[in-house]
Amino acid sequence: MSEDRPSSGHRSWLEKLVQPFAQEPRSRQELLEVLRTAQRNEVLDLEALSIIEGALQVADMQVRDIMIPRSQMNTIKASQTPREFLPAIIEAAHSRFPVIGESIDDVLGILLAKDLLPLLLEGNTERFNIKDVLRPATCVPESKRLNVLLKEFRATHNHMAIVIDEYGGVSGLITIEDVLEQIVGDIEDEHDFDDEEYIKALPSGDYLVKGLTPIEDFNEEFETDFSDEEFDTFGGLVMNAFGHLPKRNEIVELDGFRVRILNADSRRIHLLRVSLIQP
């Protein structure tokens, strides 16, 4: 009988391994501690732990916490002609745009950039009426929880919602990508390029620049002399120019450059669009 019994040393090792899972967690904090212990024991990898933590965090967050404020919304006026609004669409490089009437509080619908393809192919803009291609706009309150909004996005197949304040006015907008990035981090899109690449030239003459671009590399590319004594990366330099952690679409001018934030989260800047300011 004694031969079938595990040694005390083996029992001790096994007990240590299963101890974090021996009791069910009674709170979210205890659950996180169990998951972090599992990661330290290599039962769970760091990426999976990060996603789980993000999902738990989203349940406590509201739309107002991550929405794009109204001052930074890229909108199109229904009264504009294609010649007037197409440059703004190309510059912003988004897939969806709120279309407004007399003011930003009068949202008529959502324009999908892909719905303009027939217009571009046919080249006939005289008979174009933007209201003919608008999709309905979904409105949500600032207080809606992100996990509930994500469920609604999935159920309705919507990717954008207009955020309304308590008085019925537009306070901003939010997209499904904004919610997902709180869970999984930065999401790759049409702006992404190779991991080895820091700076990418665009046909428009602008540049895509990663936030982690070393200042030395930026200086070499643009023949500038930004100091790297205080900051190592271009993203850090830009954040210092803002004086705060900027959100998407915020713009700052920096020694001859106009810098637009394309992608940022609650921790750092991921991607920027850099334009040279003509003298």
φ, ψ for residue 195 (rounded to 5)? -60, -35
Annotated domain spans of the chain: 25-58, 64-184, 199-276
Beta-bridge mates of residue 273: 208, 260
CA angle 249, 207, 243 (to 5 degrees): 45
Q: Cα(67)–Cα(175) distance, rounded to whole angstroms? A: 8
Write out the two tokens for 155.
């159920």
Q: What is the mean pLDDT of residues 253-275?
A: 86
Q: Cα(158)–Cα(47) distance, rounded to whole angstroms? A: 27
Q: Cα(64)–Cα(66) distance, rounded to whole angstroms? A: 6
Average pLDDT over all residues of the chain = 82
pTM summary value: 0.59
pLDDT per residue as tens digits for the range 184-239: 765 545 455 555 688 988 767 888 899 999 999 999 999 999 998 888 999 999 99
Which architecture does CATH list for 64-184?
A: Roll (3.10)
Q: Which CATH class is domain 199-276?
A: alpha beta
Q: Cα(182)–Cα(159) distance, rounded to whole angstroms? A: 15
Residue type for 229, please? Answer: E
pLDDT per residue as tens digits for the range 13-24: 455 445 555 567
Sheet holding 269-276, edge to edge: 199-201, 207-210, 269-276, 257-264, 251-254
Round to the nearest angstrom and report the end-to-end CA distance of the chain.
90
Q: What is the mean pLDDT of residues 89-110?
A: 90
pLDDT value, residue 153: 94
Binned at pLDDT 50, 70 and 90, residue 8 comes out as very low
Beta-bridge mates of residue 135: 110
Residue with tokens 């993000």: 54
Beta-bridge mates of residue 76: 99
